[in-house]
Amino acid sequence: MDIRLLHPSETPPYELLLLADPSRRIIDEYLERGECFLAEENSMIIGVYVLLPTRPETIELVNIAVVETYQGKGFGKKMIFHAIEQARSKAYKTIEVGTGNSSLPQLALYQKCGFRMTGVDSGFFIRHYEEEIWENGIQCRDMVRLEMDLS
């Protein structure tokens, strides 16, 4: 798998980005403010993630997604480690990620990659999304915040 930056003339892979976030408006905001990386396997785009500077010395991993037929094969983990290395090489001190209270595999994955839970943004998905989100039989209401110290 190769990972590269999205070229400014390329159309972002919205279908893939929408797997991670159902809001096109929020995706466009992230693309505007962040850097979008594409993961390719045999010249086919199989993954995407965006790195978004948030506060001084802090960057957030947002919108990570792997094409459904390629999920569960270790590509997501490789992309997360790539994002961590990108953040480190740009001298950020902290990398953050947020996910839903109902996103159980994602909560497992981020912790397996070394992220630690730091807080809960209670009601985040109720405030920012018009449609209800349900996963694993749980309504997605709160955003669990995780971070990793890079210093």
Residues forming contacts to ligand COA in the complex (CB under 6 A) are 19-20, 64-66, 71-77, 99, 103-106, 108-109, 112
CA distance linking residue 84 with residue 8, whole number of Å: 23
Q: What's the closest the beta carbon of residue 9 comes to ligand COA, in angstroms?
A: 25
Which CB, 9 or 25, lies closer to ligand COA?
25
Which CB, 92 or 98, lies closer to ligand COA?
98
Q: What's the closest the beta carbon of residue 72 comes to ligand COA, in angstroms?
A: 5
Tokens of 73: 């094969």
Q: What's the closest the beta carbon of residue 99 comes to ligand COA, in angstroms?
A: 4
Tokens of 151: 């210093």
Which CB, 77 or 88, lies closer to ligand COA?
77
Which CB, 15 or 151, lies closer to ligand COA?
15
Q: What's the closest the beta carbon of residue 11 comes to ligand COA, in angstroms?
A: 19
